[in-house]
Structure 1
Amino acid sequence: MEALQAVLKSNFRSFDRVAVIGGLVRDFAREGRTGFRSDVDLVIHDSKEEVALLAEKLRATPNRFGGYGYKSGPWKIDFWALETTWAKKHVPMQTLEDVLLGTFFDWDAVAYDLWERKLICHDDYLERLRTKTLEINLRPNPSPMGNLVRAIRRLVLWQLVPGERLMCFINEYLDEEALRYMQKKEEELFSYCVSSRWKTVEEAKFYLFQERGSDDLQLDLFQIKHQR
């Protein structure tokens, strides 16, 4: 972790405010150091022109959402200027604190200010993690099918229940064609496929929307551990 901090300080310290966003911070909140992953997402509070100059210096390549990505040792680092954040089309993006408004999942609405060394999140963020309920934060998104796959995998792998808005989203987008798409994508991308247990979309929705007891969750956890 110290090595990663040194890399980030070396390459990004010229900017006044830089925040780590997304899965890295969320997984630290969920699991502590054991939740550390090799992908790092950064938002920079500076102009897109200054960020582009850094990208050129680092030989970073453009990514799909207006930012840049590069590899540094074992880490894949993506970074954006705040003003180019995709969600700016739907919510105001004036400060790093505003990134909390722009995530699809409420569990992803968290950031870490690198130089101030402080967590940026809503007051009830940790309580929402404890409730084990996953909800939609901002409904418009550039990849509905991608978020459908992510939602279903998180619900199963993390043993969560969907909130009302997420349940409506899944109910709208999950049809037989989407289920086949997800099963194919999981086979391509993951060692453990959660959607292969369902033959029909009705089975999938029944499983995802039911109030599951502790026995069901323990069985899921056993299967996940032994099929990864």
Structure 2
Amino acid sequence: MRQLSSELKEELNQLGTGTVQETVQQLRQIGQSGVYAAIPVMLRMMDHECADIRRAAEQAVTRLLAVCPVSELVWLNEHVREWRPSPVDGKRVVEREMHTLDQASPTRLSMLTMHWSGYIREAAVKRMIRDDEADSFAYLLLRLNDWVPEIRNLARAALELKLMPEYAKLWMEHIMLVERLRICGRDSFESFIESVHHLLRQKECRYVLHTARVSPEPGIRRLAF
């Protein structure tokens, strides 16, 4: 759910003002709320000086990402980078994230691909490509329209390697992010989009289309016919 209730807004405003135990409990409750719109506000708690709070914040963000529809990651991508530190603090943030990026959890790595710093986004994308996890698909598709050409090229090269039948299910699950590229203007995506559709039309991929026709996502059902 993208909309924040007045109660949840107040809870987010008060987040971190109580004791460690109270803050951890708040984070757990927010994580159970299913309101993924809370993620941008909660990210700062993943850098809290208290390990218990950092852990609870990451667990909450993980739970909310699990209920966030793929198509809503576009909204999340725009809002995650709304907060930016001062230039002095920003340099320290970049240095810290670059230093610890190799140890970043999958949840943290996903959020770092949306970071305001191009250096961090690029490093996160490289790590994601190296790890080659199925969960990276959506985040690489988002970076196809990154405003930094080097990041766009990294994401595109990695995704083009997956234009094979064994990845057809993942392509169909993320087809709305592929279709979104039609309205993105930072690069030419027509050949890429057509390559994805060509793959899904292949005989060995028909089972994916049949499954997609009963998808709970209306957009996926429409594109499966």
Q: TM-score range by the shorter chain?
A: 0.3 to 0.5
Determine which structure has the larger helix proportion and give its number. Answer: 2
* Higher relative contact order structure (alpha carbons within 8 Å, sequence separation ≥ 6): 1
TM-score (normalised: structure 2): 0.36
Determine which structure has the larger strand proportion and give its number. Answer: 1
TM-score (normalised: structure 1): 0.36
